[in-house]
């Protein structure tokens, strides 16, 4: 399970780095800007999580492999955009996959730290949405967690399902997979189905 988590973390880093690079290119940033946005998108949420859980050194300082993955993913994304057209909704799809992988990874780390169920949901959700929120702020967009999109709520729902299934006796690995698939499916269904949370306006 440890090797699986490490591999999924790197996949999540690559996917979020690609989504950050796409967001940076859509804002017409230069190559340095692309690398910066890709980096904060990929490690922002996990960094905040590690600081709050007092996990030192922070994961990407302890193991620099994620930084190598970020640079590679960002450069591949840039090269791809120069050679072939970027598919429609590619940013949203990449973000949904990164959200699922990082949210569940963060939840697993919180569980290992002995956190309560509520804190585990919060930490997992923060891991999944933190980097994207920083990315949106730096590219002058309203973060998705502050809009009506089913985004952070999808992460919280998937983590909640993971915890419930574990309590019911399902294996750790199976519960983990269900959480990942649940978050990704819910987020992508919301994107393509136009699902949104209700909004409230003060008149």
- pLDDT tens digit at each of 203 positions of the chain: 678 778 878 888 998 898 899 889 988 999 999 999 999 999 999 999 999 999 989 989 999 999 999 999 999 999 988 887 766 677 677 778 888 989 999 999 999 899 999 999 999 999 999 998 999 899 888 887 776 678 889 999 999 999 999 999 999 889 999 999 999 999 999 888 877 777 666 55
13 belongs to a structural domain: yes
Give the pLDDT score at 4: 76
For residues 97 and 92, give the distance between their C-alpha atoms in angstroms, rounded to a whole number.
9
Assess if residue 88 is contained within a domain.
yes
pLDDT of residue 24: 92
Q: Does any domain span residue 202?
A: no
Whether 110 is covered by a domain: the verdict is: yes
CA 182/CA 187 separation, integer angstroms: 8
Domains held by the chain: number: 1
DSSP codes, 92-142: HHHHHHHHHHHHHHHHHHHHHTT--HHHHHHHHHHHHHHHHHHHHHHTT--
Q: Is residue 198 assigned to a domain? A: no
In a domain, 199, yes or no: no
155: containing domain = 2-193
200 is a domain residue: no
Handedness of CA 45, 111, 146, 56 (dihedral sign): negative
Total-model pTM:
0.85
Residue 135 lies in a domain: yes
Q: SS3 for 23?
A: helix
């Amino acid at each position: 399970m440890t090797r699986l988590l490490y591999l999924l973390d790197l996949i999540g880093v690559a996917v979020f780095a690609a989504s950050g690079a796409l967001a940076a290119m859509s804002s017409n940033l230069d190559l340095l800007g692309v690398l910066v946005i890709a980096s904060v998108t990929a490690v922002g949420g996990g960094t905040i999580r590690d600081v709050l859980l007092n996990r030192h050194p922070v994961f990407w300082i302890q193991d620099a492999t994620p930084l190598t993955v970020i640079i590679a993913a960002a450069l591949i994304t840039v090269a791809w955009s120069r050679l072939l057209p970027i598919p429609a909704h590619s940013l949203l799809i990449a973000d949904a996959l990164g959200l699922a992988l990082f949210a569940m990874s963060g939840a697993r780390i919180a569980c290992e730290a002995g956190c309560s169920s509520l804190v585990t949901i919060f930490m997992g959700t923060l891991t999944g949405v933190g980097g994207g929120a920083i990315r949106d702020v730096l590219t002058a967009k309203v973060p998705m967690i502050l809009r009506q999109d089913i985004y952070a709520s999808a992460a919280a729902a998937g983590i909640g399902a993971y915890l419930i299934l574990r309590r019911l006796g399902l294996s750790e690995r199976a519960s983990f997979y269900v959480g990942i698939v649940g978050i990704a499916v819910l987020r992508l269904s919301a994107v393509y189905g136009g699902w949104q949370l209700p909004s409230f306006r003060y008149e």
